Each structure stands twice: as C-alpha cells, then as structure tokens.
C-alpha cells in the first residue's frame, strides 16, 4: 500500500464510520481485511438491520488489542487471555478452565433480543459448555451444549428451546427471542430449534460472558473453543437473521477463516 493511503481513505469517507472509528480507536488490520469489514457493515446498512445490532466484536485484526475492539458496542474485558491465544486466521481460543470475556453488557431486551457467536471449532462433550451467556437465579440468557450431547438455547426464565440431540457443529449461532411466545435458535441463518411457551423475561442484572456464562458473578460452562466474533441484537426477523449470517459468512470467507 502507498504510504498514507489507508488514512486518506478514512479521512475522505472511504470507509463506513463504524470502520473508521475502529481504526481511530487503535485497530490495526490489513487493507484486505478492512475492505471486507467495510463491505459487511455497509451490507448491514443496506439491508436495514444495522440499527438492531447493539454489539459486534469481530475478533479480527493484527493483534489481540485489535481483536477485542468492538465495531459496535462495548469492548469486553478479557480474563486470562494472552496474545498467543489469538490470530486473525483462527480467531480467539479459550482453554475451558480459566479464560473468558466479560462483555460488559447485559442481554439485550430482555423482553425481546438476541445474541450469537461464530464458532470455528467444536466444544468438548465431556461436560456442559456454553459459548455465550448469563445465568441468574431464574432468568437465563444463553446458548448451551449439554454433555448428552445436545444443544439448545434459553432467553429469559428457564424455558429452553427443544433439544437437538447432537454435538453443536461449527458455524454461526444466534439465539433470538422475538416475542413472549417465540424463541428461536438459529444455526447458519436457519432456525433449528424453538420454544413457543409463553415467557415473560426479566433482566438478571448480569453481564453476558463469552467462552462461558456468567453464573451469578462466577464463570461457568467454560469452553475450549475458537471463536471468530460475537454479537448482541434487538430481535431479528427470520429474513434478517439469514441476511446477517450471509454477510458474516462472506466476511469470514474473505478473512480466510470461514467454516
């Protein structure tokens, strides 16, 4: 790249303001990665659901500091991660015992809302695992894999979506509560499990953790898994969930880390 080209592009408005702000906050990435990220954000705007994304931490860029800078929302607090746990090609990798992120944010809503992760590796089925979530005394917001193995989600109270009796495959996961009587667990943009029993979610007062769940202030369900981003949203329609997945998958492919 010609010296100054990247900065000139930012100053001239070549990048979306979200990408420009990420760079200004200290984010470092290749020109190709920035171009792909810019295209993804502009797709969100074009397709009309940009305003529904309350958090997006993409785990991309040249180093761990860049990886944890949010495109949208609040930067997480890393617990026990070191620089060697991250590369752009692999994402960020937890150890299943002591490493997790405190997102600094509670579950969106909570009456309606959603959260998700891009999971690049499988989680062990030896015990209960959760890549993202928070768990209070009664209200739980999480995507989980049980040791059976099976997987499901909950978003408010303890009501779970129908269990799918299999290990969670790699890919994009998103739990979305659209109403008191509809909770969906999406995988790669399609609903694979749901719950229609009436539920009135209440805030549990807990920040969402990533690579595990916040269990009333303690980390639990920690997963030795590689993630390439997490996000939180207000409720997405089925069409928006598919469109957002497609945009993320296109971006991951451009970064050479799609699954």
Q: Please check whether residue 259 lies inside any domain of the structure.
A: no
Q: How many domains would you assign to the chain? A: 1
Q: Which residues contact 252 (CB under 8 A, 6 or more apart)?
A: 118, 228, 258, 259
pLDDT of 137 reads: 86
pLDDT of 109 reads: 92
Q: How far apart are CA 123 and CA 235, in angstroms?
A: 26
CATH code (residue 26):
2.60.120
Q: How far apart are CA 258 and CA 251, in angstroms?
A: 8
Comparing C-alpha atoms, which of 94, 75, 117 is closest to residue 230?
A: 117
Q: Please check whether residue 177 lies inside any domain of the structure.
A: yes
CA atoms within 13 A on the CB side of 29: 30
pLDDT of 157 reads: 78
Token pair for 209: 């953790």
Q: Please check whether residue 154 lies inside any domain of the structure.
A: yes
pLDDT of 212 reads: 98
| Residues 86/64, Cβ–Cβ less than 8 Å | yes
Per-residue model confidence as pLDDT tens for the chain (259 residues)? 333 334 434 433 499 999 999 999 999 999 999 999 999 999 999 999 999 999 999 999 999 999 999 999 999 999 999 999 999 999 999 999 999 999 999 999 989 999 999 999 999 999 999 999 999 988 999 999 999 999 999 998 767 899 999 999 999 999 999 999 999 999 999 999 999 999 889 999 999 999 999 999 999 999 999 999 999 999 999 999 999 999 999 999 999 999 9
User: Which residues on adjacent β-strands are paired with residue 100?
Assistant: 79
| Residues 199/180, Cβ–Cβ less than 8 Å | yes
User: Which residues on adjacent β-strands are paired with residue 160?
Assistant: 154
Q: Please check whether residue 144 lies inside any domain of the structure.
A: yes
User: Any idea what DSSP says for residue 38?
Assistant: H
Q: Please check whether residue 136 lies inside any domain of the structure.
A: yes
Q: Please check whether residue 10 lies inside any domain of the structure.
A: yes
Q: Which residues contact 214 (CB under 8 A, 6 or more apart)?
A: 102, 133, 134, 135, 206, 207, 208, 220
Domain extent, residue 159, equals: 5-254
Q: How far apart are CA 192 and CA 168, in angstroms?
A: 11
Q: What is the pTM of this model?
A: 0.94
């Amino acid at each position: 790249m010609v010296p100054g080209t990247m900065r000139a592009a930012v100053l001239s408005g070549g990048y979306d303001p979200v990408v420009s702000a990420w760079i200004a906050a200290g984010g470092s990435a290749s020109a190709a990665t920035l171009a792909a990220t810019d295209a993804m954000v502009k797709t969100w705007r074009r397709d009309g659901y940009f305003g529904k994304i309350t958090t997006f931490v993409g785990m991309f860029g040249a180093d761990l500091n860049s990886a944890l800078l949010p495109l949208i929302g609040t930067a997480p607090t890393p617990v026990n991660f070191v620089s060697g746990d991250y590369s752009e090609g692999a994402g960020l990798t937890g150890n299943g015992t002591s490493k997790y992120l405190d997102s600094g944010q509670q579950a969106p809503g909570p009456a309606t809302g959603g959260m998700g992760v891009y999971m690049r590796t499988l989680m062990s089925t030896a015990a209960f695992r959760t890549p993202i979530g928070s768990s209070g005394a009664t209200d739980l917001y999480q995507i989980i894999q049980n040791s059976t193995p099976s997987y499901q989600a909950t978003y408010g109270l303890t009501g779970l979506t129908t269990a799918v009796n299999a290990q969670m495959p790699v890919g994009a996961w998103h739990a979305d509560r659209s109403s008191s009587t509809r909770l969906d667990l999406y995988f790669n943009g399609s609903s694979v499990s749901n719950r229609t029993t009436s539920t009135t979610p209440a805030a549990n007062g807990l920040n969402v953790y990533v690579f595990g769940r916040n269990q009333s202030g303690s980390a639990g369900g920690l997963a030795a898994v590689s993630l390439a981003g997490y996000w939180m949203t207000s409720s997405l329609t089925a069409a928006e969930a598919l469109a957002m997945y497609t945009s993320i998958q296109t971006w991951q492919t451009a970064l050479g880390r799609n699954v």
